[in-house]
Structures are given as C-alpha cells and as structure tokens.
Amino acid sequence: MVGVSERDDCRRRDGVSRRTFVKAVGASGTAAGLAGCTSRGQSSNPNVIQWAADDDVRTNKDAIEKALYEAGLDESIKLEVLAGNEQTGARQSQYQRWLSANLSEPDMLLVDSGWAIPFIARRQLLNLSDYMSKQALNKVNNDYFQGSVITGKSNSGDLYAIPLFSDFGTIQYRKDLVKKSGFSPDKENWATKGISWKKFSKVTKKVMQDNKKQIDYGFTFQSSIYEGLSCCDFNEFITSWGGTYFGSTKNLLGPVGQRPVTLDSKNVIDSVKMIRTFIHGNSAPNTLNGYAGGIAPRAVLSWTEETSRAPFTNGNAVMHRNWPYSILINGEKKVFGKDLGVMPIPYGVKEGEAKEKELGGIASALGGWNVAINPNSNKKDKAVQVLEAMTKESFKLKLFETIGWIPPEPGVLETKRAKNIPVMGRYVDTLKVAGQNALPRPVSVVWPQQSGKIAQGVHSAYSGAAAPKQAMSTLNSQIKEIENYNK
C-alpha cells in the first residue's frame, strides 16, 4: 500500500518548474538530473477538472483558479493538477499511454506546441471547433499569434488545442558594453527592427576585443546534437537566410510526402557557412567573407539551453540566443537589470529578398504550450468552460504577472499592464515582433524520424566533420527518403 507521505514525495518530484530549475541551477548552468513520476487517481466529483500540466501550474493552482473565476468561469468548477515529468518527451509518452488506453481522466492536457500535431493526426484530442463558442474560436483564430495557433490545428483547419502561452527565440546582449564600444542600439531601434547577421558579427567582435580582459565569448547558442538544434536554432538560422526545410514555411507541418525538401539550397548552405565562420574563424575552409569570425566558442557544439546561458549570465559573453525564461533571469537587478538588451534573431537576407517571399528577415523559432481536452473525458462541457475563460485578456495577463508566461495574443502585450510587469515588461515590444515572426517547429507525424538525422547532419557541418555542401546534400537525401516512404 502506498502511504500518503510516498504520494506527496512523488508530487514533489514529479516535475521541476522551469523557474524552480533555474533557481536550482543558478549561474553555473549545472544541476543534478531531474526525475519524474505522476500519481493519478480518478475524481468522483463532477465539478473537478483534472488537468495534466506541470509544476508551474501545480504550485500556482490557487492563483490560476482565481484568475479563471475573474475571467468568468463558474466558481463551482475546481481544478486538480497533475504535474507531469518536466522532460517534454516523457510527458508526451505518458499522454500517449493514457489516450491510447481511452482513459477518461485527466480531462485537460497541457501539450507542447512541438508535438501536438501527431496527437491531432491520430484524433486523440477533442475537436474544439465542435465545442467552443463562436466568440472564443474567433478570438483564438483571429487575434492570437498565428504561428502558435497552427500548432493546435488539423489539416482541415479545425482547432484541437488553444495556446496557453508562447515562447520565442531572441538574442540577449550586453547593452552596456555594446554602447561603450560606440554602437547605438536604442537610436537604431534594434529591439524591434533587429540587425543583420553581418553587423551582428562585427558588433560582437569589437565588443569582445574592447573587453578582452573581461569577456571570453562573443556569441553563445545551442548546437549540441539534440532536438533544440533541429527544431529551433538551425530552423532560425536557415529561415533568416531565406532557406527552409520544405520549400516554404507553409509546408513545415506537412503534408508529408507532398512537399519539396530544400535543405541543399544555397541559402541553407550559406547559413551553415556563417555559423562555421562564427565558430572556426575566417581562415577556416567553407566560411563566409565579410563576416567577423571566431566569435563563438567550439563549446557551442555541445551546449543546450542552460549550458549556453551560464557564460552569458556570468558576464563572460556578449550575445546569447535563448528563450524568454533566460530574459527573466538576466534582466533581474542582481544580474544585468536594464543593461540587458533584447532583440529579434538577426537576418541573413532582408525580408522579401529571398526566393520565397515569406522567408528571410527576422525569424524566431516557436515554443510554448497549448491546452487540449481528452476526448474520452466525462466532463467535456466543464473543461470547455475552463478553456473559454483562458481566452480572456485578464487571465493571460495574470499568467504573465504570476509565472512569466508570454500571452499568445499580441494585443495583450501592447497593454499598459503588460508593459508595467517587472523585468519582462521592458521587452514586450521585442517579444511581440518575435511572436509575429515566429516559426512553428517542423513537427509532423514523421518528425521523430527526421529530427535526429537533421541534428546529426547539421552538427557534422558546423563541427567541420563534413563540408557544408556535402552534409546538406546527404541530409536532403535522407529527409526526402523519409518523406517518400511515408507518402
């Protein structure tokens, strides 16, 4: 028999929130492995909605419930939160087991925008277009960041999950050092207009040289062999250069087997050469002229989010690519405060100058989480009421204030209340631009087969194990083979 204390211990370990994890890691960027477990029991109360979410939701449940009631939810409806494994892949697997077994609980699911599509393709989530009010559906379909919305839609356009919050890749930088080196980020409005990769490289190099006793690294980012490289960093780099995986950003989510594979295009190869220039320097083979080289350490080839963040937070880097959680850390008074600058991902070619008009210019990889309903739930109508309350502006602002989750609606970021939120409020204009230029991850039913090959192929080109043209040609053939096999 499992005692109460054991169950409570499981709840403490079942998920470590990103904020809790960051505090535990601190500036060092290291932490012990995070284990997870979930206790799940059936709720007999017809007014209790069981929500499979994360530790952020569990620890803020009372505030979230209060915000839902203020947004119009009937106060008789209560939430029971199951905080799942913090590792997104583990949570995906848990959901798959529950849904494949046709369990009626949990009633609601917090689903990663990066893997909602396969569940939708298998019809394992409730079709919200048949259940939500026309007003709520119009709000999501018309007013939200569209990059976030399409990660919760089927090919037919029906909505199966609504965005709860969005994440976007941006560049954080030492504004104080950049200004000291003679640049004018405020006057030139880097925060919303961004800059080119060429200028970015030259700014970074000069600041490094001007502060060589203090700064070892110019640009830190993520290029280890993992999902974050294939879905996000590489996706941003190639799109900002006018390249893409499948001919157009409109094809990122499918249809599988009916889209061109374009990883061997010149734009993609040039983006690879640029990163090689940043890592290996201008004298290395297969690099680009006109770009300042040697601004990124070879260590980026083994870095993920936290390992790449640590040098920047410690004051040992000029520029850093990461998600908004890192802005919250680095914008605190005890770190950089107002000396932290944030701007969109730079561009290799200007918007509209690429072969495909929607490519080039600012491009941010899309992260974030959506909320869906278990189609086997016995409480679908009440769960729908919860989702409809989540579409209200007051609820989204409360989450932004309480947890730091970015509202998935650009208009909310423009409000005075959003701009007055400590730390994050300073950067809402940049976040809005990033959200409006956000790219969904190229997640389809075959993405699990493709992601690993992309990460390996890109890493081999970045590291110098293979020439960019050869590596991208091989990768193009591999991805095309997967596409054709799954027609």
pLDDT tens per residue, range 208-240: 999 999 999 999 999 999 999 999 999 999 999
**Are 152 and 178 contained in the same domain?**
no
β-pairing verdict for 364-373 and 108-112: antiparallel
For residue 383, the number of C-alpha atoms closer than 13 Å in the C-beta half-sphere is 29
Q: How far apart (Å, rounded) are the C-alpha atoms in residues 421 and 429?
A: 13
- The mean pLDDT value for 391-397 works out to 98
Alpha-carbon Rg for the chain in angstroms:
22
pLDDT-derived band at 5, boundaries 50, 70, 90: very low
**Are 376 and 388 contained in the same domain?**
yes
- The mean pLDDT value for 116-144 works out to 96
Does position 21 have pLDDT exceeding 80, yes or no?
Answer: no
Q: How far apart (Å, rounded) are the C-alpha atoms in residues 430 and 307?
A: 24
**Are 228 and 342 contained in the same domain?**
yes
The pLDDT of residue 287: 98
Q: How far apart (Å, rounded) are the C-alpha atoms in residues 477 and 455?
A: 15
Cis? peptide before 468, omega within 30° of 0:
no
The pLDDT of residue 65: 98
Q: Which residues contact 161 (CB under 8 A, 6 or more apart)?
A: 111, 116, 120, 125, 128, 151, 152, 370, 371, 372
Q: Is this model's pTM higher than 0.85 or not?
A: yes
Does position 124 have pLDDT exceeding 60, yes or no?
Answer: yes
Residue at a domain's end among 416, 436, 456: 436
**Strands, sheet with 170-174, edge to edge from the N-terminal-most edge strand:** 217-220, 317-322, 170-174, 340-343
Q: Is 35 helix (H, G, I), strand (E, B) or coil?
A: coil
The pLDDT of residue 294: 98
Does position 356 have pLDDT exceeding 90, yes or no?
Answer: no
Query: What's the domain range around 241?
Result: 170-364+442-485
Question: Under a CB-based contact definition with an 8 Å cutoff, are residues 38 and 103 in contact?
Answer: no
**Pick from 208, 170, 210, 207: nearest CA to 190:** 170
**Are 425 and 467 contained in the same domain?**
no
Does position 24 have pLDDT exceeding 70, yes or no?
Answer: no
The pLDDT of residue 87: 81
Residue 301's CATH number: 3.40.190.10
Percent of the chain residues topping a pLDDT of 90: 84
In this structure, of 37-46, 322-331, 382-391, 440-449, the range with the lowest mean pLDDT score is: 37-46
Q: How far apart (Å, rounded) are the C-alpha atoms in residues 463 and 160?
A: 40
The pLDDT of residue 353: 87
Domains in the chain, number: 2
As a whole number, the mean pLDDT across the chain is 90
**Are 153 and 290 contained in the same domain?**
no
Between these two residues, 156 and 17, which has the higher pLDDT value?
Answer: 156
- The mean pLDDT value for 468-476 works out to 98
pLDDT tens per residue, range 363-372: 999 999 999 9
Question: Under a CB-based contact definition with an 8 Å cutoff, are residues 115 and 443 in contact?
Answer: yes
Does position 61 have pLDDT exceeding 60, yes or no?
Answer: yes
Torsion sign over Cα 465, 360, 343, 165 = negative
**Are 35 and 133 contained in the same domain?**
yes
pLDDT tens per residue, range 65-97: 999 999 999 999 999 999 988 888 889 999 999
**Are 107 and 41 contained in the same domain?**
yes
Percent of the chain residues topping a pLDDT of 70: 91
The pLDDT of residue 43: 59
Does position 272 have pLDDT exceeding 90, yes or no?
Answer: yes
The pLDDT of residue 86: 80
b/e for 426-457, b at 16 or more Cβ within 10 A? bbbebbbbbbebbbbbbbbebbebbbebbbbb
Does position 41 have pLDDT exceeding 90, yes or no?
Answer: no
pLDDT-derived band at 397, boundaries 50, 70, 90: very high
The pLDDT of residue 25: 36
- The mean pLDDT value for 286-304 works out to 98
The pLDDT of residue 159: 98
**Are 65 and 202 contained in the same domain?**
no
- The mean pLDDT value for 433-460 works out to 94
**Pick from 271, 326, 278, 325: nearest CA to 301:** 278
Cis? peptide before 344, omega within 30° of 0:
no
Q: Is 384 helix (H, G, I), strand (E, B) or coil?
A: helix
**Are 116 and 73 contained in the same domain?**
yes
Type of residue numbered 90: A
**Are 256 and 377 contained in the same domain?**
no
Q: Is 439 helix (H, G, I), strand (E, B) or coil?
A: strand
**Are 148 and 176 contained in the same domain?**
no
Residue at a domain's end among 397, 420, 436: 436
pLDDT tens per residue, range 158-175: 999 999 999 999 999 999
Does position 34 have pLDDT exceeding 50, yes or no?
Answer: no
- The mean pLDDT value for 346-356 works out to 90
The pLDDT of residue 13: 26
Does position 22 have pLDDT exceeding 70, yes or no?
Answer: no
The pLDDT of residue 223: 97
**Are 70 and 12 contained in the same domain?**
yes
